[in-house]
Chain A
Amino acid sequence: MKKMAKKIKLSINGISLEVEQGTTILEAASHAGIIIPTLCYHKDLCIAGNCRVCVVEIAGQKRLSAACATPCEEEMEILTNSMNVHNSRKQIIELLLSEHNADCTSCFKNGNCELQKLASDYKILKQDFIRLVPFKNYTIDKYSPSIIKDDSKCIRCQRCVRTCAELQGINALTVAYKGDQMKITTFFEKPINDVVCSTCGQCINHCPTGALVEKNYIEKVWDAIADKSKHVVVQTAPAVRVGLGEELGFGPGERVTGKMVAALKRLGFDAVMDTDFTADLTIMEEGTELLTRLKSVLVDHNPEVKLPMATSCSPGWIKYIEHIFPDFLEHLSTCKSPQQMFGALAKTYYAKARNLAPETIVSVSIMPCTAKKFEAARPEMHDSGYRDVDYVLTTRELAIMIKQAGIDFVNLEESHFDRLMGESTGAAVIFGATGGVMEAALRTVYEIVTGREVPFENLDIIPVRGMEGVREASIKIENPLEEWAFLDGVELKCAVAHGLVNAKKVMESIRSGQSAYHFVEIMACPGGCLGGGGQPIPTSPEIRRKRAEAIYAEDTGMPLRKSHQNPEIVKIYKDFLDHPNSEKSHHLLHTHYTARERF
């Protein structure tokens, strides 16, 4: 353990400290309890150093340096709050504001805007610079069902461009032109909806201002709730319960499942049920599909059937593969995402059981995701005979509704999901974390095939958990039940990837023929849904880790932890769907995909 990084001694604002070589001034300052403001800096992304808000003074140097982009050096004496720094920083903020549409009261990010906070902290009370906004012809792109891009609020920090390139490997966004003409845009400045964008919303999650926000449907949902002729059903995705608290007075990683349900009931939803129920259903459908595919390939040698089978829960991933790997769509499971399964069932199974006319049902979902808004708007998602999911709200939009309704969330008494489609298992809640769908599927598939539990202590399939970009695992199937004898001795090879930049790696290895995977789980967002583009802002590696811990704690605390044990799942097959992959499930719960252009 002798191989320690070299230490460097320096002082910041007169405080002496020692840091490892390679530490930036920004990081060193945070060790010393000194906050340096930033805008273009984000822990998820490479350093750009282009906003200059983090400038500091280094003794002996005439020019100020960007703290985020300057490594500490031996004996450096740094001032983060000299008059020179103070005035320069203030001027930089003023310059940014001179180009910014600072119409804060009518901005969706009002109250959660990093530029607004800086303007407030530094009390920018006058405008010395000409306001350029009225002279520029800014574009506001509202064409996508998921994302609104308002260039008048863009400060060109390029976090979104780096997010799209580094985390997602898509590069739908680019920096075009230069100087005062420079803008963040798409290929030929097409609307976001017409380009290769996956609608994952990570750009929204990383935008410091209101330049990128979700298209919100809050008022539509209020209208539906107020309409007495409508029966408004709401479903909540697994990751929402570990994120929502952050918007409402809790710290990252605090589970608020019961309070969330109680709040939804107070908002006036007629039925509060759980996407986790359809997550369990997904496992039944997708697990069966996997086994059918394995049989077709291993026994029948059917060349039409493709392996590995890839999960299809993440709509950002679906749109990505449709654009980037359109020749691999046959690898996708035909299962709809849990959201869409729920939507299709709400206006059929639920309507029938509750004796409601399906046209009176308004189906709302709370998702950690912006791609779900796009997914719900897909033309094929009408299998109930109506639009299956009417409105998709992000975790953030739900928090806004809870605040608007004046609900004291912190002190709210917990409540339970309504029955019929509200029961779930631990296998469902882990859908919210990367590797969770894989783990849930293995818990059920292994047991279907062998009649025994997966050979992992306490059902925790640790190899598929964690935050590594791509993870691999394999399970050897031994002594299967007679029906599955062809799987005896087969080593089921799996891969898990999260963040589309990692999805690309897996897909390229599949394309090159180098991988021997049977089953791959891919989630568009870093960390899986818990780090989704609709989750509370900010999201950082630490926050994602805390939310993941909460997800697994929720799983451990559940009385049932395998999807096939869910009594409501047993019931729906008995009363309505017959059996997994039945004709009825194929009609309501499965879908098809569309090859898309690559720009």
Chain B
Amino acid sequence: MPGIKLSEKTIGIIQQICSDFRNEGSELINVLHQTQGKLGYLPAEVQEVIAKELNISVAKVYGVVTFYSFFTMIPMGEHPISICMGTACYVRGSEQVLAEFKRQLSIEVGQSTPDNKFSLNCLRCVGACGLAPVVMVGDKVYGRVSPQMVKNIIAEYKEGCAAEAKSA
């Protein structure tokens, strides 16, 4: 298929995931989930391969990818940072926390740092409202985060010395 710039290896990975789900269109969300887990994000070319493998329209794939905030079409940083903007976190100041992350990293929501170490995103409720405001870095959850704590959280992951940082 012309126009696709993915490597054979990447295409192979996607095809394997699709065949693990019997190439069924109804498994689209699972396929997207697994593919993003393996590749980190879901750019147009990846969506085209998935649509072809599942024999569904690529517009439909795009519709699902854009609907769920979990899915991303831009590459995430090595340490994806997510700030909860759910009601509980919001009223307890997650907006100020977000502003501090933006300031410290000099990026906007949906962007990655130039060294691709961090990316910044918002999400809606991780089910830990008791710990509001909540921030996630990779799989690790930070509770009761204040803007003052932001610098230290980032520092944990800088210079690759983060002993307890989870390797996803």
Contacts and interface: CB of A to CB of B under 8 A. Distances in A.
A458 B3 CA distance: 54
Given A188-B44, A598-B52, A174 B3 contact: no
B3 A175 contact: no
Given A171-B56, A172-B57, A196-B57, A599 B51 contact: yes
Contacts of B60: 171, 174
A46 interface: no
Contacts of B61: 187
Given A188-B44, A599-B51, A173 B67 contact: no
Interface string A584-599: 0000000000000111
A170 interface: yes
Given A187-B47, A599-B48, A178 B67 contact: yes
A291 interface: no
B48 A176 contact: no
Nearest to B43: A188
Nearest to B62: A187
B122 to A, nearest CB: 13
Interface in B47-68: 47-48, 51-52, 56-63, 66-67
A172 B67 CA distance: 17
Contacts of B44: 187-188
B1 to A, nearest CB: 8
Given A188-B44, A598-B52, A176 B57 contact: no
Given A597-B3, A599-B48, A599-B51, A174 B62 contact: yes
A178 B57 CA distance: 19
A333 B51 CA distance: 30
A177 B52 contact: no
B48 A174 contact: no
A570 interface: no
A363 interface: no
Contacts of B63: 174-176
Interface string B66-91: 11000000000000000000000000
A174 B2 CA distance: 23
A186 to B, nearest CB: 6
Contacts of B56: 171
A195 interface: yes
Contacts of A175: 63, 67
Contacts of A174: 57, 59-60, 62-63
B66 A598 contact: no
Interface string A564-599: 000000000000000000000000000000000111
Contacts of A598: 1, 51-52, 58
A110 B2 CA distance: 43
Interface string A151-187: 0000000000000000000111111111000000111
Contact of A176 (B2, B51, B52, B67): B67
Contact of B57 (A170, A177, A597): A170
Contacts of A187: 44, 47, 57-59, 61-62
B24 to A, nearest CB: 16
A186 B59 contact: yes
B66 A172 contact: no
A241 B58 CA distance: 38
Interface in A180-202: 185-188, 195-196
A176 B66 contact: yes
Nearest to A170: B57
B57 to A, nearest CB: 3
Nearest to B3: A597
Contacts of B66: 176-178
15 contacts: A171-B56, A171-B60, A172-B57, A174-B63, A175-B63, A175-B67, A177-B66, A186-B59, A187-B44, A187-B47, A196-B58, A196-B59, A597-B1, A597-B3, A599-B58
Interface of B: 1-3, 44, 47-48, 51-52, 56-63, 66-67
Q: Give the 9 A-B residue pairs with the shortest CB-CB distance, closest first.
A: A171-B57, A174-B63, A174-B59, A599-B58, A176-B66, A187-B59, A187-B58, A177-B66, A187-B62
Given A174-B57, A599-B48, 14 more contacts: A171-B57, A172-B57, A176-B63, A178-B66, A186-B59, A187-B57, A187-B61, A188-B44, A188-B62, A195-B59, A597-B1, A597-B2, A598-B1, A599-B59
